[in-house]
Structure 1
Amino acid sequence: LVVPVGLLMGTVAGYCGGIVDTVLMRLTDVALAFPKIVLALAFAAAVGRGVLNGVIAVSNTAWPPYARLARAESLRLAQADYI
């Protein structure tokens, strides 16, 4: 659940560039600025009790590193000679 969200955001940011890249990466920076467990606990408290809600809460806080990595790779591949 985490990897597809991070890959989608990072790839879109790296591919589109410009204002889309800026907005998506600032959103990623905001998500990285908060401690993951505190943000997950707050989200789980807002949604309700249950294992599924806990998994969704943790998933919502774990995507930013994957987005950063996907953006870096898409930018690297966009500058390759064979593209």
Structure 2
Amino acid sequence: MAPKNKYPVILPTYNERKNLPIIVSLLNDSFTKNGFEYEIVIVDDSSPDNTAEVAKQLQKAFPGRIILKQRTGKLGLGTGRSRRDGA
């Protein structure tokens, strides 16, 4: 039997402490209900509201599902994608 596809979800965050548990719970419910494998990559730009700490708690609540990438400073979405010379 072939392994199932794993769907990655990337969540860029900045000051999303209150919203993060809600979106992670909704995503988990939707993927689980439909029998899909998934992982959630939370990218936090050093949120002053401690969003990263909430993400760490979510890693414990959803073991193996949450990946936290912490970045220094507020870098924004533009730095998260690759660029070609001259683009």
Q: State TM-score, norm by structure 1.
A: 0.35
More helix by share: 1
Q: Give the TM-score of the pair, scaled to structure 2.
A: 0.34
**Hey, which of these two has a bigger chunk of strand by percent?**
2
